[in-house]
Structure formats: C-alpha cells, structure tokens
Amino acid sequence: MPKVKNKLINLLPQDEFETSIFGRVLKWALSSFRVMVIITEIVVMSAFLSRFWLDARNSDLNEELEMGEVQVRAYEDVELEFRNIQKKLGIAKALYDEPKSTKIFSDVASTLPPDIYLNSIIVNQKSLLIKASSFSESSIAQFVINLEANKNFSDISLSQISTDQDDPSIIVFTINGKVK
C-alpha cells in the first residue's frame, strides 16, 4: 500500500493574498484586534474583581466608623462629668487664688449694721458693688460711714436708693467703692 501524504489544505491563497495590500491589512487587523480584545478582557476582569475588594474595604471602613461612634457615645457621660468637674475646679482655683476676697467679705460683714440685709456683693480686682436692703435710712448712713472708716475700702458712694416694689417699708440701695 502506498503511503498517504498528509497535506494541509489552505483555502486562502498564500502567495498572492499575503503579498497583497488587502491581505497584509487583514492579517494585521486580525492579529492586533485579538490583542486588543485580550487587553480589554483583562481590564474588565480586573475592574470586576477589584469591585469585590473595594466593597469589602468599604464594609470594613463602615464597621470601623460605627465602632468609633459607639466608643465616642460611651465616653460622652464621662466627658460631661469631666467638663463639669473642670468648671468647678476653675471656680475653686479662682477662689483659692483670691484669698483677698474672703478678707473683703469679712470686712463688709464686720461693718454691717444689724438691720441691713445683703442682696449681693460683687468684688472685682479693684472694685466693690454691694446691693442691700434696710428698714431705715440711718442704718444705711451708718453702713456707708463704717465702710469709709475701714482702711481696705476707698471712694465709697451710695449710687442708688429706692423703695422695694413689693414692700414700700423696705429701702433698696446700692453702694459702689474701690478695694485697696
């Protein structure tokens, strides 16, 4: 039996078609478009796979944000208590740093006649403002004289005097002065 040769059959004429302009353009287009399709598929697949990574990262960040929010809310009461204590400490420090204020209060109390009632005392660094009420004008005059006689006060003046709106027998007055 004679030996059969394997022969490849090509329906495109190799010699003439490959050398023609249309043949070269077609061969180039087929090979380069195949590369472009492969590159496009790689880009699409990487975008598709990166979406899963980005979704997982977004979920992790949302969980971290929620945990941080819960922690901040947990410390909210502690922070409010801390701020209140800081305010109280600030007031105490101001009073502690001003031992002169207690001396001023005791001086005012020592010069106070028995029928005068203090409504408020405001002591700044160099000024004194006393709002009080009394039943008699002579007590008010005695109080002003006592304050002027005290060596820790100067420029004592009676700035306002009027009757109380609720009880006309009570005299409301204001005394201004300077602290030495």
Kindly state whether residues 106 and 86 are assigned to the same domain: no
For 106-117, write each residue's pLDDT tens digit: 888 888 898 899
For 75-91, write each residue's pLDDT tens digit: 999 999 999 999 999 98
pLDDT higher than threshold 90 for residue 64? yes
Q: Does residue 22 sit within a domain?
A: yes
Kindly state whether residues 57 and 111 are assigned to the same domain: no
**Domain coverage including residue 139:** 100-179
What is the Cα Rg of the chain in Å? 49
Domain boundary among 56, 78, 97: 97
pLDDT number for residue 153: 87
Domain boundary among 77, 97, 117: 97
3-state secondary structure 25-74: HHHHHHHHHHHHHHHHHHHHHHHHHHHHHHHHHHHHHHHHHHHHHHHHHH
Q: Does residue 67 sit within a domain?
A: yes
Neighbours of 4 (CB within 10 A): 6
For 39-49, write each residue's pLDDT tens digit: 999 999 999 99
Kindly state whether residues 109 and 87 are assigned to the same domain: no
Lowest model confidence (mean pLDDT) among 28-37, 66-75, 145-154: 28-37
Max mean pLDDT among 10-14, 24-28, 82-86 falls in 82-86
Give the chain's count of helices (H) and strands (E).
5, 4
Across the chain, mean pLDDT equals: 86
Kindly state whether residues 38 and 55 are assigned to the same domain: yes
- From CA 114, how far away is CA 1, in angstroms rounded? 149
Domain boundary among 43, 76, 97: 97
Domain count, the chain: 2
Full-model pTM: 0.47
Kindly state whether residues 90 and 116 are assigned to the same domain: no
Which one is predicted more confidently, 180 or 57?
57
Question: What is the pLDDT confidence band of residue 1, given thresholds at 50, 70 and 90?
Answer: low
Kindly state whether residues 84 and 142 are assigned to the same domain: no
- From CA 178, how far away is CA 173, in angstroms rounded? 17
